[in-house]
Protein backbone atom coordinates (compact mmCIF):
# COMPACT_ATOMS: atom_id res chain seq x y z
CA UNK A 1 0.00 0.00 0.00
CA UNK A 2 1.36 3.40 -1.04
CA UNK A 3 0.75 6.40 1.18
CA UNK A 4 0.75 10.02 0.04
CA UNK A 5 -0.25 13.27 1.71
CA UNK A 6 -0.91 16.89 0.88
CA UNK A 7 -0.45 19.31 3.78
CA UNK A 8 -1.83 22.83 3.28
CA UNK A 9 -1.27 25.74 5.66
CA UNK A 10 -2.25 29.37 5.03
CA UNK A 11 -1.61 32.24 7.44
CA UNK A 12 -1.57 35.08 4.93
CA UNK A 13 -4.82 36.15 3.26
CA UNK A 14 -4.06 39.32 1.28
CA UNK A 15 -6.82 41.89 1.14
CA UNK A 16 -9.07 40.30 3.75
CA UNK A 17 -7.81 41.74 7.06
CA UNK A 18 -8.03 38.24 8.53
CA UNK A 19 -4.52 36.79 8.63
CA UNK A 20 -3.86 33.85 10.95
CA UNK A 21 -0.80 32.69 12.89
CA UNK A 22 -0.69 28.93 13.36
CA UNK A 23 -1.65 27.37 10.05
CA UNK A 24 1.81 27.05 8.51
CA UNK A 25 3.04 25.49 11.77
CA UNK A 26 0.10 23.06 11.56
CA UNK A 27 1.08 22.04 8.04
CA UNK A 28 4.72 21.53 9.06
CA UNK A 29 3.57 19.43 12.04
CA UNK A 30 1.28 17.22 9.96
CA UNK A 31 3.97 16.82 7.29
CA UNK A 32 6.56 15.77 9.88
CA UNK A 33 4.19 13.25 11.43
CA UNK A 34 3.08 11.73 8.13
CA UNK A 35 6.57 11.76 6.61
CA UNK A 36 7.76 9.81 9.64
CA UNK A 37 5.11 7.21 8.91
CA UNK A 38 6.22 6.54 5.36
CA UNK A 39 3.98 8.99 3.53
CA UNK A 40 5.22 10.80 0.46
CA UNK A 41 4.38 14.37 1.51
CA UNK A 42 3.74 17.48 -0.55
CA UNK A 43 3.17 20.82 1.20
CA UNK A 44 1.49 24.02 0.02
CA UNK A 45 2.15 27.02 2.25
CA UNK A 46 0.84 30.58 2.07
CA UNK A 47 1.36 32.06 -1.44
CA UNK A 48 1.88 28.59 -2.93
CA UNK A 49 -1.59 27.52 -1.76
CA UNK A 50 -3.69 29.16 -4.45
CA UNK A 51 -7.04 27.64 -5.34
CA UNK A 52 -5.62 26.26 -8.57
CA UNK A 53 -2.61 24.75 -6.76
CA UNK A 54 -4.80 23.20 -4.04
CA UNK A 55 -7.13 21.64 -6.59
CA UNK A 56 -4.26 20.40 -8.74
CA UNK A 57 -2.43 18.99 -5.71
CA UNK A 58 -5.51 17.01 -4.70
CA UNK A 59 -6.17 15.90 -8.28
CA UNK A 60 -2.61 14.68 -8.76
CA UNK A 61 -2.34 12.71 -5.51
CA UNK A 62 -5.78 11.15 -5.93
CA UNK A 63 -5.15 10.40 -9.61
CA UNK A 64 -1.84 8.67 -8.89
CA UNK A 65 -3.26 6.44 -6.15
CA UNK A 66 -4.20 2.83 -6.90
CA UNK A 67 -6.48 0.34 -5.17
CA UNK A 68 -5.49 -0.07 -1.51
CA UNK A 69 -3.51 3.17 -1.39
CA UNK A 70 -4.13 5.85 1.24
CA UNK A 71 -4.28 9.58 0.52
CA UNK A 72 -4.34 12.05 3.42
CA UNK A 73 -5.14 15.73 2.90
CA UNK A 74 -4.70 18.19 5.76
CA UNK A 75 -5.91 21.78 5.57
CA UNK A 76 -5.23 24.52 8.09
CA UNK A 77 -6.61 27.94 7.26
CA UNK A 78 -9.86 29.80 7.04
CA UNK A 79 -13.11 28.12 6.16
CA UNK A 80 -16.06 29.95 4.67
CA UNK A 81 -19.40 29.48 2.99
CA UNK A 82 -20.97 30.64 -0.27
CA UNK A 83 -24.58 30.71 -1.45
CA UNK A 84 -25.49 27.29 -2.86
CA UNK A 85 -26.32 27.51 -6.56
CA UNK A 86 -26.81 23.80 -7.27
CA UNK A 87 -29.67 23.22 -4.83
CA UNK A 88 -28.00 20.31 -3.03
CA UNK A 89 -27.63 21.99 0.38
CA UNK A 90 -30.56 22.04 2.85
CA UNK A 91 -29.22 25.24 4.41
CA UNK A 92 -28.64 26.85 0.99
CA UNK A 93 -24.95 27.33 1.73
CA UNK A 94 -21.89 25.51 0.36
CA UNK A 95 -18.94 25.09 2.72
CA UNK A 96 -15.51 26.00 1.40
CA UNK A 97 -11.80 26.07 2.10
CA UNK A 98 -10.15 29.47 1.71
CA UNK A 99 -7.05 29.49 -0.52
CA UNK A 100 -4.37 32.16 -0.40
CA UNK A 101 -5.87 34.00 -3.39
CA UNK A 102 -9.49 33.91 -2.26
CA UNK A 103 -9.82 37.70 -2.39
CA UNK A 104 -7.68 38.04 -5.51
CA UNK A 105 -10.11 36.25 -7.79
CA UNK A 106 -9.47 32.65 -6.84
CA UNK A 107 -12.58 32.24 -4.72
CA UNK A 108 -13.19 29.42 -2.26
CA UNK A 109 -12.63 25.74 -2.99
CA UNK A 110 -16.17 24.62 -2.24
CA UNK A 111 -17.48 21.23 -1.21
CA UNK A 112 -18.99 20.54 -4.66
CA UNK A 113 -15.53 20.96 -6.22
CA UNK A 114 -13.93 18.78 -3.56
CA UNK A 115 -16.58 16.13 -4.23
CA UNK A 116 -15.65 16.06 -7.93
CA UNK A 117 -11.94 15.78 -7.11
CA UNK A 118 -12.56 12.93 -4.67
CA UNK A 119 -14.98 11.14 -7.01
CA UNK A 120 -12.28 10.83 -9.67
CA UNK A 121 -10.29 8.33 -7.58
CA UNK A 122 -9.85 4.73 -8.64
CA UNK A 123 -11.91 2.10 -6.81
CA UNK A 124 -10.36 1.07 -3.51
CA UNK A 125 -8.41 4.27 -2.90
CA UNK A 126 -8.92 5.45 0.71
CA UNK A 127 -9.09 9.16 1.50
CA UNK A 128 -8.70 10.93 4.84
CA UNK A 129 -9.44 14.67 5.04
CA UNK A 130 -8.29 16.53 8.16
CA UNK A 131 -9.67 20.06 8.23
CA UNK A 132 -8.58 22.50 10.94
CA UNK A 133 -10.80 25.35 9.84
CA UNK A 134 -14.31 26.73 10.36
CA UNK A 135 -17.28 25.95 8.16
CA UNK A 136 -19.81 28.01 10.01
CA UNK A 137 -23.05 29.48 8.75
CA UNK A 138 -22.75 32.72 10.66
CA UNK A 139 -22.48 36.02 8.82
CA UNK A 140 -21.25 38.14 11.72
CA UNK A 141 -18.18 40.29 11.22
CA UNK A 142 -17.60 40.85 14.92
CA UNK A 143 -14.97 38.12 14.91
CA UNK A 144 -12.80 39.92 12.36
CA UNK A 145 -10.39 42.82 12.65
CA UNK A 146 -7.32 43.16 14.78
CA UNK A 147 -7.08 40.92 17.82
CA UNK A 148 -4.20 40.43 20.27
CA UNK A 149 -1.87 37.71 19.00
CA UNK A 150 -2.15 35.72 22.22
CA UNK A 151 -5.95 35.41 22.05
CA UNK A 152 -7.70 32.59 20.18
CA UNK A 153 -9.27 33.71 16.93
CA UNK A 154 -11.73 31.81 14.75
CA UNK A 155 -10.55 30.30 11.49
CA UNK A 156 -13.63 31.55 9.69
CA UNK A 157 -13.74 34.09 6.89
CA UNK A 158 -17.11 35.81 6.41
CA UNK A 159 -18.31 35.87 2.82
CA UNK A 160 -18.38 39.67 2.88
CA UNK A 161 -14.60 39.79 3.40
CA UNK A 162 -13.86 38.22 0.03
CA UNK A 163 -17.07 38.09 -2.05
CA UNK A 164 -17.09 39.51 -5.56
CA UNK A 165 -18.31 43.09 -5.62
CA UNK A 166 -22.09 43.34 -5.46
CA UNK A 167 -22.60 39.88 -4.01
CA UNK A 168 -21.55 40.44 -0.40
CA UNK A 169 -25.10 40.66 0.92
CA UNK A 170 -26.37 37.44 -0.61
CA UNK A 171 -25.77 35.10 2.36
CA UNK A 172 -27.18 37.62 4.82
CA UNK A 173 -30.41 37.71 2.88
CA UNK A 174 -30.54 33.94 2.96
CA UNK A 175 -29.83 33.91 6.69
CA UNK A 176 -32.53 36.44 7.44
CA UNK A 177 -35.27 34.58 5.62
CA UNK A 178 -37.89 33.74 8.22
CA UNK A 179 -35.66 35.22 10.93
CA UNK A 180 -33.19 32.33 10.92
CA UNK A 181 -31.26 30.31 8.40
CA UNK A 182 -32.62 26.86 7.66
CA UNK A 183 -29.78 24.64 8.76
CA UNK A 184 -29.02 21.05 9.62
CA UNK A 185 -27.34 21.91 12.92
CA UNK A 186 -24.20 19.91 13.46
CA UNK A 187 -24.22 18.54 9.91
CA UNK A 188 -20.58 17.74 9.13
CA UNK A 189 -18.84 19.84 6.50
CA UNK A 190 -17.78 18.13 3.27
CA UNK A 191 -19.80 14.99 3.99
CA UNK A 192 -21.06 14.86 0.38
CA UNK A 193 -17.45 14.65 -0.82
CA UNK A 194 -16.84 11.41 1.07
CA UNK A 195 -17.59 7.93 -0.26
CA UNK A 196 -18.56 5.60 2.58
CA UNK A 197 -18.06 2.50 0.45
CA UNK A 198 -14.42 3.46 -0.18
CA UNK A 199 -13.61 3.91 3.49
CA UNK A 200 -13.27 7.70 3.40
CA UNK A 201 -12.90 9.59 6.66
CA UNK A 202 -13.22 13.22 7.73
CA UNK A 203 -11.74 14.68 10.90
CA UNK A 204 -12.74 18.31 11.38
CA UNK A 205 -11.88 20.82 14.05
CA UNK A 206 -15.50 21.79 14.70
CA UNK A 207 -19.07 21.04 13.80
CA UNK A 208 -20.86 22.83 10.98
CA UNK A 209 -23.50 25.27 12.07
CA UNK A 210 -24.07 28.82 13.27
CA UNK A 211 -21.26 30.10 15.48
CA UNK A 212 -19.22 26.89 15.29
CA UNK A 213 -15.53 27.72 14.99
CA UNK A 214 -12.08 26.17 14.97
CA UNK A 215 -9.57 28.38 16.76
CA UNK A 216 -6.12 29.69 15.94
CA UNK A 217 -4.18 30.15 19.19
CA UNK A 218 -0.85 29.61 20.95
CA UNK A 219 0.53 26.83 23.10
CA UNK A 220 3.69 27.58 25.09
CA UNK A 221 4.25 30.63 22.91
CA UNK A 222 3.98 28.77 19.58
CA UNK A 223 1.08 29.40 17.20
CA UNK A 224 -1.06 26.40 16.24
CA UNK A 225 -4.59 25.39 15.53
CA UNK A 226 -6.22 24.12 18.71
CA UNK A 227 -7.49 21.04 16.92
CA UNK A 228 -4.14 20.23 15.31
CA UNK A 229 -2.27 20.69 18.57
CA UNK A 230 -4.57 18.39 20.53
CA UNK A 231 -4.92 15.90 17.68
CA UNK A 232 -1.16 15.39 17.49
CA UNK A 233 -0.74 15.33 21.27
CA UNK A 234 -3.49 12.77 21.82
CA UNK A 235 -2.32 10.65 18.88
CA UNK A 236 0.95 10.03 20.68
CA UNK A 237 -0.95 9.15 23.85
CA UNK A 238 -3.49 6.76 22.31
CA UNK A 239 -0.86 4.90 20.28
CA UNK A 240 1.43 4.62 23.31
CA UNK A 241 -1.46 2.90 25.08
CA UNK A 242 -2.47 0.83 22.05
CA UNK A 243 -0.32 0.60 18.89
CA UNK A 244 -3.42 -0.66 17.01
CA UNK A 245 -5.52 2.36 18.00
CA UNK A 246 -8.34 3.34 15.65
CA UNK A 247 -9.64 6.66 14.41
CA UNK A 248 -12.52 6.28 16.87
CA UNK A 249 -10.03 5.90 19.74
CA UNK A 250 -8.22 8.98 18.51
CA UNK A 251 -11.38 11.07 18.18
CA UNK A 252 -12.50 10.10 21.70
CA UNK A 253 -9.16 11.29 23.05
CA UNK A 254 -9.37 14.61 21.17
CA UNK A 255 -12.93 15.07 22.45
CA UNK A 256 -11.62 14.86 26.02
CA UNK A 257 -9.28 17.79 25.29
CA UNK A 258 -11.78 19.94 23.35
CA UNK A 259 -13.91 21.89 23.95
CA UNK A 260 -12.56 24.01 26.79
CA UNK A 261 -13.82 27.27 28.29
CA UNK A 262 -11.51 29.32 26.07
CA UNK A 263 -11.67 27.01 23.03
CA UNK A 264 -15.36 26.09 22.63
CA UNK A 265 -15.02 23.84 19.60
CA UNK A 266 -16.27 20.28 19.26
CA UNK A 267 -14.25 18.16 16.79
CA UNK A 268 -16.12 15.78 14.51
CA UNK A 269 -15.40 12.44 12.91
CA UNK A 270 -17.39 11.36 9.87
CA UNK A 271 -17.19 8.08 7.99
CA UNK A 272 -18.51 4.55 7.91
CA UNK A 273 -18.10 2.34 10.97
CA UNK A 274 -15.43 0.41 9.11
CA UNK A 275 -13.50 3.61 8.33
CA UNK A 276 -13.76 4.96 11.87
CA UNK A 277 -12.62 1.64 13.35
CA UNK A 278 -9.62 1.26 11.03
CA UNK A 279 -6.09 1.63 12.38
CA UNK A 280 -4.90 5.24 12.26
CA UNK A 281 -3.07 5.96 9.00
CA UNK A 282 -2.79 2.21 8.50
Helix and strand totals (H; E) in the chain: 7, 12
Read off the DSSP letter of residue 97.
E
β pairing state of 126-132 and 70-76 = parallel
User: What is the chain's percent helix, strand, coil content, to nearest 5?
Assistant: 35, 20, 45
* CA neighbor of 131 nearest in space, from 192, 44, 73, 213: 73
Q: Which residue among the candidates 78, 135, 230, 251 is catalytic per the annotation? A: 78
Report the distance separating Cα 169 and Cα 173, nearest Å: 6
Report the distance separating Cα 107 and Cα 103, nearest Å: 7
* CA neighbor of 220 nearest in space, from 150, 119, 122: 150
Is 78 marked active-site? yes
Distances (CA, A) of 3 to 127, 197, 249, 263, 276: 10, 19, 21, 33, 18
Q: Which residue among the candidates 134, 135, 206, 230 is catalytic per the annotation? A: 134
Contact 131, 108 (CB under 8 A): no
Return the number of other C-beta atoms located less than 10 Å from residue 240's C-beta.
9
Contact 215, 226 (CB under 8 A): yes
Is 134 marked active-site? yes
What is the set of active-site residues? 78, 134
Amino acid sequence: MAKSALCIGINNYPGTDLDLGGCVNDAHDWAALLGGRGFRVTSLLDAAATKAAMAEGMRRLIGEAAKGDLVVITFSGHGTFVPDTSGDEPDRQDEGLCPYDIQQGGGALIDDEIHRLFAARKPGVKLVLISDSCHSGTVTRALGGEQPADLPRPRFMPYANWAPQGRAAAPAATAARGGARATARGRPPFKPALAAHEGDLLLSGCEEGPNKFSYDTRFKGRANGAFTYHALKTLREVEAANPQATYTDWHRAIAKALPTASLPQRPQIVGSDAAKNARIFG
